[in-house]
């Protein structure tokens, strides 16, 4: 009888350890997926920011006296570069919102300057920006899906008991710029 109890306790201990290891691995994998998704957003933000100097140069050739708008877009580009170097999702979102506003002002100049709007360079940059925006929207959605999975795991039984020892906590969602 004693050996049966001992075997039962040993089996339960092994099952508990296996459950902990599985939970730990599942939570760490979800955490890595969130970090990967955030890096994807950074790639697209950096890609969009890298298009800005060409856009500014193209617009300057047609509308050099619009210096305030061009300075605003350059400042917003620098803010995005700074935000992608940090860990704050809110800071990235705010910098992206500022860049969206600035780029919108620059693109609006195309309406005011018909020669600019017919420039092949300007049209190509508009296409590249639109393509990047589509990729950025997908990257945001992927990140928010990964965060939803992680947050669901960290707040449900039995995974919530493993989240602390695994060093995993809830993450904030990426707010789309408006």
Predicted confidence (pLDDT) per residue in 92-104, tens digit: 888 888 888 888 8
Task: Kindly report, residue by residue over 21-70, the tens digit of the pLDDT.
Answer: 998 999 999 999 999 999 999 999 889 888 888 888 888 777 777 778 88
Contacts of 107 by beta carbon, 8 Å cutoff, 6+ apart: 126, 129
> Residue 43: its pLDDT value, please?
92
Token readout for 121 is 């360079």
How far from the centroid of its chain's Cα atoms is residue 87's Cα?
10
**Tokens at residue 92, please?**
């990235």
CB 143 within 8 A of CB 39: no
pLDDT value of residue 178: 64
What structural domains does the chain harbor? 19-177 (1.20.1440.20)
């Amino acid at each position: 009888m004693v050996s049966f109890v001992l075997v039962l306790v040993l089996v339960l201990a092994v099952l508990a350890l296996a459950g902990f290891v599985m939970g730990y691995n599942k939570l760490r994998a979800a955490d890595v997926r969130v970090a990967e998704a955030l890096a994807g957003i950074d790639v697209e933000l950096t890609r969009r920011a890298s298009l800005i100097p060409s856009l500014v140069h193209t617009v300057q050739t047609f509308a050099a006296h619009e210096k305030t708008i061009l300075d605003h877009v350059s400042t917003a580009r620098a803010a995005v570069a700074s935000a992608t170097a940090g860990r704050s999702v809110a800071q990235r979102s705010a910098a992206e919102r500022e860049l969206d506003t600035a780029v919108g002002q620059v693109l609006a100049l195309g309406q005011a300057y018909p020669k600019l709007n017919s420039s092949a360079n300007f049209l190509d940059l508009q296409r590249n920006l639109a393509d990047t925006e589509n990729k950025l929207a997908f990257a945001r959605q992927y990140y928010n899906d990964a965060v939803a999975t992680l947050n669901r795991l960290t707040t449900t039984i039995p995974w919530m008991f493993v989240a602390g020892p695994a060093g995993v906590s809830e993450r904030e969602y990426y707010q789309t710029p408006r």
